[in-house]
Amino acid sequence: MIRLHVDQPLSAGTLIELGADQARYLTGVMRKSVGDELLVFNGRDGEWRVAITEATKRSCVLTALARTREQSTTPELELIVALVKRNRLETIIEKATELGCRRIRLAVTRYTQSDHARTDRLSAIATEASEQTGRLDVPEVAPAQSLDHILNDWPGNRRLMFCDEGGDVRPVLEGLPPGDRPWSILIGPEGGFSPEERARLRGLDFVTPVGLGPRILRADTAAIAALTLWQARLGDWRS
């Protein structure tokens, strides 16, 4: 069944007026009409079964019928990824959403290959991935900040999993300590971290350096591997 993310509050009998893009998708692409049903979610009120009660090519009104799933939350997991080429960054956003990230932050490092990214485009990719994978929320995609700024403002209760290609680290499944505290995962650019960045990260008490195996991975592969291993060790894959 089609799933859509909406911004409006959801409860029985609620009328949901879709924007032009979503209306065009339902009526023009998916050929849905009045009386057809689909699922919607907003990240707060669970998932709801709704029916199309008004439909044109440019507008569509849904009526909420019944809740199908109570709201649940994804693990307290954040991905911090250095800006890379657009197609690889878009892949990272999509896969991070599928793998259960609650938040994605973009970072600028010394060897970053790009200095900007369209967060609106990346947020749309995250929304579409959430719709397709059954998530009940959509991860936030935060604008790019320098790695120094991110580290300087680090919250005291959060750990950082630093995927270090420099060696002298334990594998992820051995190096991550148990516990339910919030975690972030840091993935560098294709050129890796500079010696200065690596030294600073290794010297911070909230950082856990880990390795992703004997081969050098591209940023998108590294992000997928790191998120998968974290989920297997500390996340909701254990349930």
Give the tens place of pLDDT for each residue, 30-42. Answer: 999 999 999 999 9
Low-confidence ranges of the chain (pLDDT < 70): 115, 239
Question: What's the token pair of residue 187?
Answer: 């993935």
Strands 170-171 and 207-211: parallel
Helix then strand then coil, % of the chain, to nearest 5: 30, 30, 40
Domains 3-69 and 77-238 alike in fold: no
**Which CATH superfamily groups domain 77-238?**
SPOUT methyltransferase, trefoil knot domain (3.40.1280.10)
159-179 residue pLDDT tens: 999 999 877 899 999 999 888
| CATH annotation of 3-69 | 2.40.240.20
Domain range annotation of the chain: 3-69, 77-238
Residue 54, SS3 per DSSP: strand
| Res 239: pLDDT | 65
pTM (2 d.p.):
0.93
